[in-house]
């Protein structure tokens, strides 16, 4: 299969969103956020099409600097998005496979001399990568996940795979059309300061949620133990058999502290320990600086690399340090995510599909990736929880995705084109 996509133009618009209730991270409180919607115009041979991609510019997550205001960080990220839109046709020359274009863009933006941290830069480029794939799919009238059906060279990443073919590795990790997941388990976020049990009553009794991601502040092991047990008991008291994951947003000091937490949880509440399925990035995001041995932790529970996965070259180091798996996020780029997923599949490493409160287009995109992969968690999509108004344009026709009644997200995938912007 020969495919060369040429970017003709790009644009970006920003939508102010207010959270229905604050989201507490260990780095601070999110009350408002900017949605960046990118549109890209491509040409393949004589066929032209437009594509759309979207992401939240979550500055507190991607750029947690307490000395800078949200307004400053947000404007810097908007400015980078505008710069990408202006230069995208030039940066994507010459025409190439959309995955090559996405990786080229990731390299250009994330390895540049920008003042922004690498995760903030990745956020800014990610909707353009998605829009390139969406537009290419529309031009060819086919799914963006079918771009790997033939044997073609992808020089930017072929070297990461044993057989020397990224195309083959990506194809191997994607579920075939007749095995795509038309429903995925949903997860509800339990904020570090959410009142219990009232915070869980509606999602359990009306939404049917059984998966709960607990945000921990990582101030002390005792406090985190108490919070984890309290969430479990609140869910049980409301009739749920809870599945748990933990996320301290890098708040723990080292792997030893996490190991102590798990050993004590197993000793005092083996039922809660059994319900705990995995933990997300407990320590600092730069794994070349925050070097921890996770092997003992991984023997107890899976530990997933999230914020620390900012470059594909870090994958071997992550395996060496004993990380159990990868927490994938579309905000790092569609191309980057597919390559990381294929690498994990080849290595026999599990993946989870995580979120950045993805709304609308971004939620559809994230669902599609999870539906094509074997994720251990289903999918985390929490825009229905925190920014439901951002999904209003998709209702009622996408109620199956955004309005949960039985603990499942659903999306029909029989006639997928691009990355689903037409859904």
Residue 249 pLDDT: 86
Q: Is the pLDDT of residue 112 over 80?
A: no
**243 token code pair:** 């599945």
User: What is the band of 24 on the pLDDT scale with cuts at 50, 70, 90?
Assistant: confident
* Interatomic CA distance for residues 22 and 370, integer angstroms: 26
Mean pLDDT of the chain: 95
pLDDT average, residue stretch 276-293: 95
**153 token code pair:** 């060279």
**112 token code pair:** 């540049």
- Report residue 45: phi and psi, to 5°: 55, -120
**100 token code pair:** 């090559």
Q: Indicate the pTM of the whole model.
A: 0.95
Instruction: Indicate the burial class of 187 (C-beta count within 10 angstroms; 0-12, 13-18, 19 or more).
Output: buried
Q: 124, 131 in Cβ contact below 8 A? A: no
Residue 358 pLDDT: 94
Q: Is the pLDDT of residue 30 over 60?
A: yes
Residue 151 pLDDT: 81
49-87 pLDDT, tens per residue?
999 999 999 999 999 999 999 999 999 999 999 999 999
pLDDT average, residue stretch 117-126: 97
Q: 15, 361 in Cβ contact below 8 A? A: no
113-122, 134-143, 350-359, 369-378: least confidently modelled range? 113-122
Residue 21 pLDDT: 87
Q: Give Dmax (Cα) for the chain.
A: 66
Entry field: residues in the chain: 423
Q: Is the pLDDT of residue 268 over 90?
A: yes
Residue 114 pLDDT: 74
Instruction: Indicate the burial class of 83 (C-beta count within 10 angstroms; 0-12, 13-18, 19 or more).
Output: middle
Instruction: Indicate the burial class of 56 (C-beta count within 10 angstroms; 0-12, 13-18, 19 or more).
Output: buried
Q: Is the pLDDT of residue 415 over 90?
A: no
Instruction: Indicate the burial class of 396 (C-beta count within 10 angstroms; 0-12, 13-18, 19 or more).
Output: exposed
Beta-carbon contacts of residue 286 (< 8 Å; ≥ 6 apart): 308
pLDDT average, residue stretch 85-91: 98
129-173 pLDDT, tens per residue?
999 999 999 999 999 999 998 888 999 999 999 989 999 999 999
Q: Is the pLDDT of residue 289 over 80?
A: yes
Q: Is the pLDDT of residue 178 over 80?
A: no
230-249 pLDDT, tens per residue?
999 999 999 999 999 999 98
First to last CA, the chain: 26
Residue 414 pLDDT: 77
**369 token code pair:** 């990736």
Q: Is the pLDDT of residue 196 over 60?
A: yes
Query: Would the CA dihedral through 66, 61, 299, 349 be positive or negative?
Result: negative
pLDDT average, residue stretch 400-421: 93
Q: Which of 14, 16, 133 is nearest to 81 (CA)?
A: 14
Residue 26 pLDDT: 67
User: What is the band of 3 on the pLDDT scale with cuts at 50, 70, 90?
Assistant: confident
Give me the torsion for CA of 280, 286, 291, 292, rounded to 10°: -10
User: What is the band of 1 on the pLDDT scale with cuts at 50, 70, 90?
Assistant: low
- In the block, which residue shows the tokens 């209003």? 392
Residue 2 pLDDT: 63
């Amino acid at each position: 299969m020969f495919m060369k996509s040429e970017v003709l133009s790009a644009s970006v618009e920003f939508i102010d969103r207010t959270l229905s209730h604050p989201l507490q991270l260990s780095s601070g409180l999110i009350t408002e956020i900017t949605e960046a919607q990118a549109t890209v115009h491509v040409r393949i041979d004589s066929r032209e099409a437009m594509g759309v991609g979207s992401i939240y510019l979550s500055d507190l997550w991607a750029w947690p600097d307490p000395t800078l205001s949200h307004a400053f960080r947000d404007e810097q990220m908007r400015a980078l998005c505008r710069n990408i839109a202006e230069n995208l046709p030039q940066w994507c020359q010459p025409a190439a496979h959309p995955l090559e274009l996405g990786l080229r863009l990731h390299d250009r933006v994330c390895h540049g001399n920008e003042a922004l941290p690498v995760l903030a830069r990745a956020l800014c480029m990610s909707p353009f990568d998605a829009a390139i794939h969406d537009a290419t799919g529309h031009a060819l009238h086919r799914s963006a996940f079918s771009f790997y059906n033939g044997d073609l060279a992808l020089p930017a990443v072929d070297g990461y795979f044993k057989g020397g073919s990224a195309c083959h590795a990506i194809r191997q990790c994607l579920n075939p059309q007749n095995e795509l997941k038309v429903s995925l388990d949903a997860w509800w976020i339990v904020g570090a300061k959410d009142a219990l049990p009232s915070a869980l009553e509606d999602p359990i009794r009306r939404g049917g949620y059984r998966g709960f991601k607990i945000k921990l502040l990582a101030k002390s092991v005792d406090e985190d133990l108490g919070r984890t047990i309290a969430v479990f008991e609140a869910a049980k008291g409301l009739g749920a058999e809870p599945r748990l994951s933990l996320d301290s947003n890098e708040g723990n000091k080292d792997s030893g502290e996490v190991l102590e937490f798990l050993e004590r949880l197993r000793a005092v509440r083996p039922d809660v320990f059994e319900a705990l399925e995995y933990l997300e990035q407990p320590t600092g995001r730069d794994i070349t600086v925050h070097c921890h041995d996770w092997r003992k932790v991984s023997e107890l529970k899976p530990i997933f690399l999230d914020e620390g996965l900012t470059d594909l070259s870090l994958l071997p180091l992550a395996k060496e340090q004993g990380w159990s798996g990868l927490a994938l996020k579309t905000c790092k780029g569609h191309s980057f995510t597919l390559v990381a997923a294929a690498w994990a599949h080849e290595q026999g490493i599990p993946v989870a599909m995580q979120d950045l409160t993805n709304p609308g287009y971004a939620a559809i995109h994230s669902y599609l990736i999870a539906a094509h992969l074997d994720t251990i968690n289903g999918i985390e999509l929490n825009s229905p929880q925190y920014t439901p108004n951002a999904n209003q344009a998709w209702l009622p026709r996408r109620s199956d995705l955004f309005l949960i009644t039985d603990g499942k997200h659903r999306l029909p995938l029989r006639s997928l084109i691009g990355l689903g912007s037409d859904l």
